[in-house]
Chain A
């Protein structure tokens, strides 16, 4: 290779690298800006938001939006309900997932291939919305808290992730040794497998928690009573259908101020609704990425 081509190639490489960095910086800004804009708007005054003076940082710092949210009983009930559904939902989700995934990971479990097939089949084909709804209705779960917990009690994808983890990280010899020592399958699961599976349990808890907190479809089709609504349904009413209970505007008696507050409230509400899941994210990113990788590559 002559010297001149080496230089030309490295120039090409430099150009390529510069383009790559430019592309990444562009993506970074495009993803980041809307998030910053929401947060900054939520801390601005209603007037600044309406007149479009917010570009990057909060303008006329105010907490009016947040004050309106926390004085609203409807939103607070929704928050409480969502917390309830998330805590108990995740408890059910993780238990069922482990109960399914652990036997599926054991070679001593006769019939696991049939069961795995039945599990994967539900991923590819479903009865559809109407029979699903009718099933829940026939079980008399409509408009109860159970409707938010039972129909979504287990996710196929998560079972596969957990099974893959058990299979690849719990040595088979360990199971055989435990069996020789007279350890039961329950005992082995409880005393050996679960303590060794903390990373995957963390992943399951996180994935389920995010989907429970963000769930709205089940609430939309199964719930009618306002006092059972999770936060997401309340958000839909306020943010998308634009119907705000006038009682929420107790401290805003002027009409103009009310409209401004109504707009500001949307930004604050987005922050308040997303914060719980987003706040834990930096601490658990490692586990999350790990979980997706287990599920996608080894699965």
Chain B
């Protein structure tokens, strides 16, 4: 992806410029001739510095005892105190468990679902039906998280929801789905699939449309069945895209979406729905415990980064596609 092409170009420009002082003078001239480009990036770079890099620098409050009066740089150092408190707290394993259960479940279901849809759509010959399915499955992408969660709550409500009406129609008791901790992860994951399957499939459909037609022709001549074509041509065709997406997904394992989970929480289900990001928000911003929650957050980010780097490393070793 981005970085791969970047590396390639870097090689090209390097050889084009050549080495030595000539290149250096050339470089200076080039910068001066294209000063307008540097003027253009000024604002975006200022944005990156202010809203991305200063907060990164500010993450050091995880190692301090933050006091609003003294500010970030003036607060006293606390070393790893907050990290230790977090690791020793009874919440630690609960949070880790909830976060991992929800994210691994998401990965297991949410990752293959769009692939299945794309493979199935690719078999369809009637363009109109194909477009209809694509259009309808894409539509939920536009629904905001708040509306999505309220739809879930409405549909599963023991009084109003159609799920309840169906249960009653079959003579079953009403169930308060949102109040049962065991159901939380399933509701979260499957509603995500409902909302994201069409959007996710687009990438794979693009990959499928890029497969060389000669391959299908050859398979047809050899008398391959449809399933074999899917298995031997389609799947290898989308493998690069799938690998990259898998790496990105694994790199986000500890980041289960705050927005949706926070909205889906209620006092009855917090035993399985409290994850690291919601905990950070509650302890940090609502409880004004800045340093401690920053430490929890930092721990989370570092784990994510390590996961991302190791999966990418593994992908580079064992397959041809990786992020960089």
Contacts and interface: CB of A to CB of B under 8 A. Distances in A.
Nearest to A153: B47
Contact of A28 (B6, B59, B61, B136): B136
Interface in A252-299: 263, 266-267, 270, 273-274, 277-278, 281-282, 285, 288-289, 292-293, 296-297, 299
Contacts of A273: 144, 147
Contacts, number: 282
A240 B223 CA distance: 56
Given A239-B146, A296-B206, A24 B124 contact: yes
Contact of B51 (A49, A102, A135): A135
A157 B194 CA distance: 23
Interface string B15-47: 000000000000100110110111011011101
B84 interface: no
Given A16-B226, A96-B43, A299-B1, A185 B36 contact: yes
Nearest to A107: B13
A151 B61 CA distance: 20
Contacts of A263: 160
B60 to A, nearest CB: 8
A145 interface: no
Interface in B250-304: 251, 258-259, 263, 277, 280-281, 284-285, 290, 293-294, 297-298, 300-301, 304
A173 to B, nearest CB: 16
B8 to A, nearest CB: 11
Given A17-B226, A115-B45, A134-B72, A127 B55 contact: yes
A124 B58 contact: no
B121 interface: yes
A184 B36 contact: yes
B44 A125 contact: no
Contact of A17 (B31, B123, B207): B123
Nearest to B161: A52
Contacts of B76: none
Contacts of B123: 16-17, 20
Contacts of B6: 113, 116-117
Contact of B55 (A6, A107, A126, A296): A126
Interface string A1-40: 1000110010011001100110110011011101101100
Contact of A128 (B43, B116, B124, B301): B301
B136 A235 contact: no
Interface string A224-261: 00000000100110011000000000000000000000
A205 B144 CA distance: 17
Nearest to B153: A240
B16 to A, nearest CB: 9
A132 B55 contact: yes
A278 B142 contact: yes
B176 interface: no
A169 interface: no
Interface stretch (A57-65, A67-75, A196-204, A210-218): A210-218
Given A17-B123, A28-B136, A115-B41, A130 B147 contact: no
Contacts of A186: 36, 40
Contacts of B159: 50
Given A115-B45, A153-B47, A266-B154, A37 B162 contact: yes
Given A16-B226, A135-B51, A292-B203, A31 B301 contact: no
Contacts of B72: 131, 134
B262 to A, nearest CB: 8
Nearest to A99: B40
Contact of A23 (B5, B40, B120): B120
Contacts of A118: 48, 53
B81 interface: no
A150 B45 CA distance: 13
A274 B241 contact: no
Contacts of A119: 48
Question: Most B CB atoms within 10 A — which of A49, A130, A236?
Answer: A130
A246 to B, nearest CB: 20
19 contacts: A13-B226, A16-B123, A17-B226, A34-B151, A99-B44, A106-B37, A108-B37, A118-B48, A125-B301, A128-B280, A128-B297, A150-B47, A153-B47, A266-B150, A278-B142, A278-B143, A281-B142, A293-B206, A297-B203
List the 5 closest pairs (A to B, CB-CB), nearest first. Answer: A131-B58, A127-B55, A128-B297, A214-B144, A239-B150
Given A131-B56, A134-B61, 15 more contacts: A27-B137, A99-B43, A104-B41, A106-B34, A108-B33, A110-B30, A120-B2, A125-B305, A128-B300, A128-B301, A129-B281, A130-B294, A210-B142, A239-B154, A270-B150
